[in-house]
Structure 1
Amino acid sequence: MPEGPEIRRAADALSDAIAGLSIDHVRLPYHRLRPFGPRFRGQRITTFRTHGKALLTNFDNGWTIYSHNQLYGLWQVARPNDPLLPGRALRLELGHQDRCIRLYSATDISLWRTQNVA
């Protein structure tokens, strides 16, 4: 299970890759997030915050994705055309031009109004 420092390192890497950039492509194979794709396109990720072992991805439109990697979850910085990691289930991909971030295999993922997240 990823520990707090590992999640902080992941948040820093994700922030370096895409924070502040407009999201121009979205893939949401995870059924709980699929209906919300239009909320992310054209928005900017303002911050990646950690809360214990959870990662909060804050957008400039007032929405936050909560994710907890549990035992198997993994964040990746990639290019949109890079192959997916084998043996992992893609949950979400958010990208800007030649870069993207991907979340694999986590099952504790939800969307919240930022004002309602601690």
Structure 2
Amino acid sequence: MPEGDTVYLAGKRLRAALTGRTLVRGELRHPRLAEYDLTGRTVTGVASVGKHLFTRFDDGRSLHSHFRMDGSWHLYRPGMSWQRPAYEARAVLATEERVAVGFALHDMELLPTADEPRLVGHLGPDLLDPDWSDAHAAEALRRLTARGDSEIGPVLLEQRVMAGVGNLYKTEVCFLRGISPWTLTRDVPDPAAVIALSRELLLRNADRPEQSTTGDLGRNQHWVFERGGQRCRRCGTRIRVAEQGESVYARLSYWCPVCQPGPAPAHAPRRAPRRR
């Protein structure tokens, strides 16, 4: 699932390309929205909230989209070939100069802009909120510590606690804080530092497509994420990987058993299991 910084960057690029411009093509190909045509509407702004994106129009409506596992927005010049198949396109918003195509956007809704809180009001503080304050940090801490009996890995993914963290940053935050993803939240030392680090990593990568947590934008971008069976960059121990979470919420967790002491599955393999 895309991280909050991916959605933030998509929103930033769409905002620069579309805001203040009138659509010469406004197709919505989602089954629930196929009857609507946005041609002639002017885009007044684009805003990201956690992993949600709102494209706003001059008629007081917003197009909501959520990336889920494989969604994305691409920008093209008129006449350019698309990088994904046309049958995956769920929205085509074109001006005279740019064409924005939303691919594999399973969750889309056209709603009054004033009603946007209906879709995001349940979320915790947005870690990439430009108006982030001590009050946001305090609210995120309150929500996180209220999950004291739950493992910290899934709690970090819970958008109702704080919005923006996906599996990559969950994994890397746990490594950098030296805690096992299976540690109960009540046993996490300095949970406020966990929140601060989550925000720091998202901010660090918010304006670029590369998501580096090591400071390296080359081949060594991550400490443990998707490195099951490889050597830890700090201590040389083999990185372990195991599924964590229940049902559709299960995700792979990667960790170094030396750098991240604490509870862990008894028979976790070193390499990620093959997906069928």
TM-score, normalised by the number of residues in structure 2: 0.40
Name the counterpart of 1:66.
Answer: 64
Aligned to 1:17: 17
Q: 2: distance between equivalents of 1:114 and 1:70?
A: 22
Higher helix share: 2
5+ residue gaps in structure 2? 118-276
How do residues 33-112 of structure 1 correspond to structure 2 at under 5 angstroms?
Answer: 33-37=33-37, 40-87=38-85, 89-112=88-111
Conserved? CA contact 2:84–2:103, under 8 Å: no
TM-score by length of 1: 0.90
The CA deviation string for residues 79-100 of structure 1, in whole angstroms up to 9 with x for no partner, is 2322232357000111111311
Q: Distance in 2 between matches of 1:50 and 1:23?
A: 20
RMSD: 1.4
Q: Which has the larger radius of gyration?
A: 2
Structure 1 portions without partners, runs of 5+: none
Checking the alignment, whether the CA contact within 8 Å between 2:76 and 2:82 is kept in structure 1 is no
Instruction: Write the distance in 2 (CA, Å) between the matches of 1:31 and 1:82.
Output: 26
Deviation digits for residues 6-48 of structure 1 (CA, Å, limit 9, x no counterpart):
11111111111111101111232222221111xx211111111
Name the structure with the higher strand share.
Answer: 1
- Count of residues paired in the alignment: 116
Using the TM superposition, name which of 47-56 and 23-32 deviates more. Answer: 23-32
Shift of 1:4: 1.1
Distance in 1 (CA, whole Å) between partners of 2:28 and 2:64 is 14
1:22–1:77 CA distance, 2 compared to 1 (3 A): same
Contact 2:27 2:39 (8 Å CA) reproduced: no
Q: Does the 8 Å CA contact 2:24/2:39 hold for their aligned counterparts?
A: yes
Q: Distance in 2 between matches of 1:94 and 1:115?
A: 22
Tell me which residue corresponds to 2:185.
none
Q: Distance in 2 between matches of 1:31 and 1:80?
A: 25
Deviation beyond 3 Å, 4+ runs, structure 1 = none
